Structure 1
Amino acid sequence: MHEAPAGASAPIGTTATGTDPGRTTDLDTLRSVTDRVRRNVERVIEGKPEVARAAVVVLLAEGHLLIEDVPGVGKTMLSKALARSIDLTVRRIQFTPDLLPSDVTGVSVFNQDTREFEFRPGGVFANIVIGDEINRASPKTQSAMLECMEERQVTVDNQTFHLEQPFMVIATQNPLEMEGTYALPEAQRDRFMARVSMGYPVEAAEIAMLSARETSSPLDDLEPVTDAAEILKLISVVAGVHVSPAVQRYAVALSTATRRSPELRLGASPRATLHLVRAAKAWAAMSGRDYVIPDDVRELAPTILAHRLLPTVEAAMNGRGPADILATALDAVPITEVAASSRPGTGTH
């Protein structure tokens, strides 16, 4: 790793002479733990290593994950597998048209014995909240998730209740073409750090699934491989990953390209840029680096940005979806200018 410029303080994770040995140990621990979690998830969801990795990235970046695909491809199994791989509190909310906001956040109930109102927590009071088929609930109920996802707290009857840490929402949704679904509000989609699609398994994986699940579910044998305390430590390691000013400008340039695209009526928000950088830090740490390179940002951009974009009517009529338009926007932003200045001590200050 390059030495910091004279007169400048060394970036997080480096000393005046190079990499901090303690920092290297932290990264080794992070890679070991995340590998165990991913392998655990892949025991349930075979043939989808990129989906398992994305889920762990979102967890370490303190984000929320949206899993979108047709029924029966393992969306709920993925969320359950991740939850069971970590010794955390887990709650599941089955979203239906008659679900009420108070079922999600909680409600104050009058206690006849004490003559006082008591708060009864809703489904969001857990470390990992599984929101199954989130787009089958009404927009009013969907919106009950907004505060808890952004601020890690719930306000009921003018009282604020803080949620447990770490906190992550893993929501599944069916495509809008499916019967009985509602589109998620733009504000809620923007609060999900990443969206992944499961896709159909390859033939070999589907055949293996038939054999493995003849008599029992693989979830039954899944044991936690880490706990909340260790995850919180790893989150702090990710927070210390260095992002050079050049890489920050590159991330902003990608978001700006979507806002200027004539094919989009809604581009990436500043929150999307923040999520992109946070996810890139987790991705870099899982790759054994304590600094982000432009390729990290570019690699994650489709997963982090695409679900936030709204194409124009003309683009939709021409068969251009958010992923296609985003790819065009990303290609318009050169990456070569920032590649050489992404390491600590080499950026432009």
Structure 2
Amino acid sequence: MRNSSKITLADVAREVGCSKSAVSYAILRNHPIGDALRKRIFEAIDRLGYQPYGSRSRTSRKVVILLTDQWASAREISLFQEKLRKNGLLCQQYQLPRYADALSDQEDFYRFLNHNSLVAGIICLHPDINSFDLIKRCKNIPATIFCREDSMLSSSWVQLEALAKLSLNHLLWINSPRVAFVKLEEPAPYAAKIFSFMRQDARLATHGISLELFSFPMNQLKGNSLTAWLEQARAEGIRTFLTNHVALTTPILQWAYRHRWYIPDDLSLFSIDYCEMSGQCVPPLTAVAVPLEKLIDLTIEELLCKIEGKPFLPKTLEPVLIDRGSTRSGR
């Protein structure tokens, strides 16, 4: 067998009897290909000793970049740092701004990543950065996206439909005639998809529950817009609120405290929680939560497989309801 450092992508394609593009698709997961072909490609990679990322090995490169926004939880970051360290890797967090600025004003940063001889891979927690962005700007660096359904660079997630079903089950238990689903207004449509799944469920009509969607941009959360809407919602008889982000739950709790409204006696409030933040609120909030530690373990495992040119099978996990007493049943 030839020296593995001399083996090229073309050699793998020739061994498998496929195109070089197919080999690239299998490695980067940036285009759908058949499972059988992917299996043959990875068997050939293993047999030939091909290094998909050249010298970008764990022996020569020790840093994993963690891309986040300003709302990434300290819990998430510390878990990634701890678990990467146990795998002999150093985690460096880079906080990028939200929305278009996450990409348009950061070209120098992406060039720095591509030319950094210490970077082994990238884990993306930033909600506005998608697979195409990473593949285009960091095409030579193994990358994975944390817990994002239908993303080419994410193979472990909790299905949005499962989050919607569990959230709806809890709403049916609360049995409030009007419910406000309050979400951040952002490019990623995940909360809107969850809401859509919930609205399509016939049980809402059967139980006489009106589920309404309200969106607020991040820059309005500290102003009067959210407070004015909360006052109107309360006046219209809305007593149950479901949020998709801790950035929303905090101002709602502050508003309730100013009016001396108690949870759950006066208001029911719960959240869809991706980062274990709902338990840190005052009072702690009931949450439909993802299994955070398991998802982080799988995300790191997927990245290590990409770095080492090994296959990684997609995995779907189930959400859980954590009842902390911030909701109550009955009209």
TM-score norm. by structure 2 comes to 0.26
Which one scores higher on RCO, CA 8 angstroms, separation ≥ 6? 1
Q: Greater CA radius of gyration, 1 or 2?
A: 2
TM-score norm. by structure 1 comes to 0.25
